[in-house]
Amino acid sequence: MSQSLSTDILIVGGGIAGLWLNARLRRLGYATLLVENAALGGGQSLKSQGIIHGGAKYALHGALTGASEAIADMPRRWREAVEGQGELDLTGVRLLSEAHYLWSPGSLAGNLTSFFASKAVRGRVDQVKGDQLPPALQHPKFKGKVYRLAELVLDVPSLIARLAELAGDSLLAGRDITPLRENDELVGLNVDGREIRAQRVVLGAGAGNAALLATLGVEQPRQQLRPLHMVLVKGKSLKPLYAHCLGGGPKPRITVTSHPAADGQWVWYLGGDFAEADGVARSEPEQIAAAQKEVQQLLPWVDLSDARWATLRVDRAEPAQSGLVRPDNAFLAEQGRLLVGWPTKLALSPDFADRAIAALERDGITPGSHAAAPALPRPPLGTPVWEELLP
């Protein structure tokens, strides 16, 4: 006989978006269960760079776009949570950097002057010099300009661990997920032989949403994947750097974040324009060679003689858009009891939760009474990608 459970909200997907929503709902008094078919954060979340964007990188031509306006308040909300004074208590999450930076090599320094002189970005940035520079740029040969962005960088593994703590006993490891219907209406999900009824079912599984929608026989919304080919480099001489390097186009030439490995060394995680279309087309050796060339041109004083390199392919899962463009906001669609969404980027996870909670409140979904759930198998925490690729 299958086990029967009931809850207010059943969430599928144990990345940051699902875990954030789960924690918000529990704080509001809802009973929740969150199902993860592998490891917490093991999909797109642990492949993110941990930057809580505030929109500056979307305004490199001096004009605020829809994306930059939509995301502008996210750093404040995340910072308050990390300080224990926000909508969630994320004390204990490691703050890798109080700010993200934008730097321009000497040949393009003038571009930054005109960019930051525009009223579109005033108040969001401050120029830094001397010992205020990121450690990796504090070198006599550095001739560019650097601006401090009002954005923070979080250690994603510690963030996932904290959100898992806030989940309490609401997490469920489950691989076989099928619809639970009564009179052709979705009333919950079957998860590894357990019938779980819920007032609402939320699919927030990132790239996994496509397979879940197919299993449920739901054709809309459709999903798009925008690929990246990221590079990781680990070496004893690397110093922390959290910055976008300005190129000649509307996207950062390269984006660098630094992550502490278990052996005490730093790992640079490299994205940006070089990791997009051209980078996706390159093989792993070709992409490593391209990254080495970029780093050597931009940071020639960095000693990479002992460095080890690896690449990582990442699919950014989003609602389908015309021309595969990037959505500006988190996205949520509703079909009866089913809510389907994507945060579209880590920083917008609070926006994803806002949209789900607003839908519940609009429909009058309030916390109900449920029998205490028995002890359930719990999904493990995911392993940081740099520990897997560069142990």
pLDDT tens sequence for the chain (391 residues): 478 999 999 999 999 999 999 999 999 999 999 999 999 999 999 999 999 988 766 555 444 555 556 688 899 999 999 999 999 999 999 999 999 998 888 665 555 555 554 444 445 678 899 999 999 999 999 988 898 988 999 999 999 999 999 999 999 999 999 999 999 999 999 999 999 999 999 999 999 999 999 999 999 999 999 999 999 999 999 999 999 998 777 788 999 999 999 999 999 999 999 999 999 999 999 999 999 999 999 999 999 999 999 999 999 999 998 877 778 889 999 999 999 999 999 999 999 999 999 999 999 999 998 888 788 999 999 999 999 999 9
Rounded to an integer, what distance in angstroms lies between the CA atom of residue 258 and that of residue 96?
Answer: 8
Whether 365 maps to a domain, the answer reads yes
- Sequence-ordered list of residues with C-beta below 8 angstroms from that of 350, at least 6 positions apart, any chain: 20, 74, 77, 78, 87
Residue type at 253 in one-letter notation: R
- 112 & 232 share domain: yes
- 18 & 81 share domain: no
Which pLDDT score, from 0 to 100, does residue 65 have?
Answer: 55
CATH code: domain of residue 335: 3.50.50.60
Whether 22 maps to a domain, the answer reads yes
Whether 268 maps to a domain, the answer reads yes
Which pLDDT score, from 0 to 100, does residue 120 have?
Answer: 45
- 239 & 313 share domain: yes
Which pLDDT score, from 0 to 100, does residue 89 have?
Answer: 98
- 233 & 140 share domain: yes
- 140 & 230 share domain: yes
Rounded to an integer, what distance in angstroms lies between the CA atom of residue 294 and that of residue 286?
Answer: 12
- 355 & 305 share domain: no
Provide the 3-class DSSP secondary structure of residue 283.
coil
The number of folded domains in the chain is 2
- 97 & 137 share domain: yes
Range(s) of the domain holding residue 242: 60-152+225-317
Whether 282 maps to a domain, the answer reads yes
Residue type at 369 in one-letter notation: S
Which of 276, 294, 317 is where one domain is finished? Answer: 317
Whether 55 maps to a domain, the answer reads no
- What's the whole-model pTM score? 0.94
- 145 & 165 share domain: no
CATH code: domain of residue 238: 3.30.9.10
Which pLDDT score, from 0 to 100, does residue 115 have?
Answer: 53
Structure tokens at 137: 């740029």
Whether 269 and 314 have beta carbons less than 8 Å apart is answered as no
- 295 & 247 share domain: yes
Structure tokens at 358: 């607003």
- Residue identified by tokens 């070496």 is 235
Q: b vs e for 100-121, b when ≥16 Cβ sit within 10 Å of the residue's Cβ? A: bbbbbbeebeebbeebbeeebb
Which pLDDT score, from 0 to 100, does residue 61 have?
Answer: 47
Whether 214 maps to a domain, the answer reads yes
Whether 389 maps to a domain, the answer reads no
- 133 & 31 share domain: no
Structure tokens at 78: 């995340």
Q: What is the DSSP string of 155-174?
A: -HHHHHHHHHHHTTT-EEE-
Provide the 3-class DSSP secondary structure of residue 177.
strand
Which pLDDT score, from 0 to 100, does residue 112 have?
Answer: 54
Whether 77 maps to a domain, the answer reads yes
